[in-house]
């Protein structure tokens, strides 16, 4: 008998960073709709409370750039929840400026969140998994800007390129432990993060002309791919970055 593909996440527990709005909210909603219990982080108490009320789990206040706080939150959550099975590293920032206008503070702001914070959060959780002999699955939210060059994305694109490579290295190191690590690389998606870019008519029209499918992404376009990569249907996939870009990176 042919096996039935299992895209469901019933009984699984997921941690999603930056789950209050935009991509994070859509991804968290998708995981919940697929049967997972969702724990989401917010950078302020209002966001953390909103997430808590939406998914019926305790509020998690976390700035991923605070490495010590990250470790404390992971340790506490692993104990209180009975174990987290999945991680979505969604929290991210962008400073869209021409390269010559970027300051050292801009660069550090982007890298501390998009790459450094993601690394230490992921390793904190993976340490629990490996010490307990548990399997796990991770999806990093990268970007097409980490695959191809895009104007005004020097810090952001470089951080996402680093995240794509980090995905490969962690997948390689942890495969034998039963931990899968993948990434998705979205095109421009209509969220708060891209509002300043897409509100510039001429620039938005130029970017849209580079997408063969002919539209920008919506948060739900990304959520489905993340659910798939975390599910058993993707059990043989690790170290991969899935471009969800309407064909932007074809050229």
Catalytic residues: 156
List the 136-141 sheet strands across, edge first: 60-61, 37-42, 13-16, 86-89, 136-141, 179-186, 241-244
**Strand locations in the chain, DSSP E?**
13-16, 37-42, 60-61, 86-89, 136-141, 179-186, 241-244
Nearest-angstrom CA–CA distance, 31 and 13: 9
184: nearest Cα among 154, 214, 232, 217: 217
Nearest-angstrom CA–CA distance, 92 and 113: 6
Nearest-angstrom CA–CA distance, 148 and 128: 35
Tokens 């660069």 correspond to 107
154: nearest Cα among 197, 205, 97, 105: 97
Please, what is the angle between helix 154-174 and helix 118-132, to 10°? 10
Q: 239 burial class (0-12, 13-18, 19+ CB within 10 angstroms)? A: middle
Calculated CA dihedral for residues 80, 86, 91, 96, nearest 10 degrees: 170
């Amino acid at each position: 008998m042919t096996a039935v593909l299992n895209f469901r996440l019933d009984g699984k527990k997921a941690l999603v960073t930056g789950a209050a709005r935009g991509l994070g909210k859509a991804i968290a909603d998708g995981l919940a709709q697929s049967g997972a219990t969702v724990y989401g982080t917010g950078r302020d108490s209002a966001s953390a409370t909103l997430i808590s009320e939406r998914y019926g789990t305790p509020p998690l206040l976390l700035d991923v750039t605070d490495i010590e706080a990250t470790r404390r939150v992971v340790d506490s959550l692993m104990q209180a929840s009975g174990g987290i099975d999945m991680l979505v590293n969604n929290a991210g920032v962008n400073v869209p400026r021409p390269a010559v206008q970027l300051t050292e503070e801009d660069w550090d702001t982007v890298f501390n969140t998009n790459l450094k914070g993601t690394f230490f959060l992921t390793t904190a959780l993976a340490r629990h998994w490996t010490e307990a002999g548990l399997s796990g699955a991770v999806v990093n939210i990268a970007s097409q800007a980490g695959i191809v060059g895009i104007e005004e994305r020097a810090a952001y694109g470089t951080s996402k390129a680093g995240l794509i490579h980090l995905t490969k290295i962690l997948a390689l190191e942890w495969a034998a432990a039963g931990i899968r690590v993948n990434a998705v690389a979205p095109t421009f998606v209509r969220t708060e993060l891209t509002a300043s870019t897409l509100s510039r008519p001429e620039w938005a029209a130029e970017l849209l002309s580079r997408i063969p499918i002919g539209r920008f992404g919506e948060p739900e376009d990304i959520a489905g791919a993340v659910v798939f990569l975390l599910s058993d249907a993707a059990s043989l996939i690790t170290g991969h970055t899935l471009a969800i870009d309407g064909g932007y990176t074809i050229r």
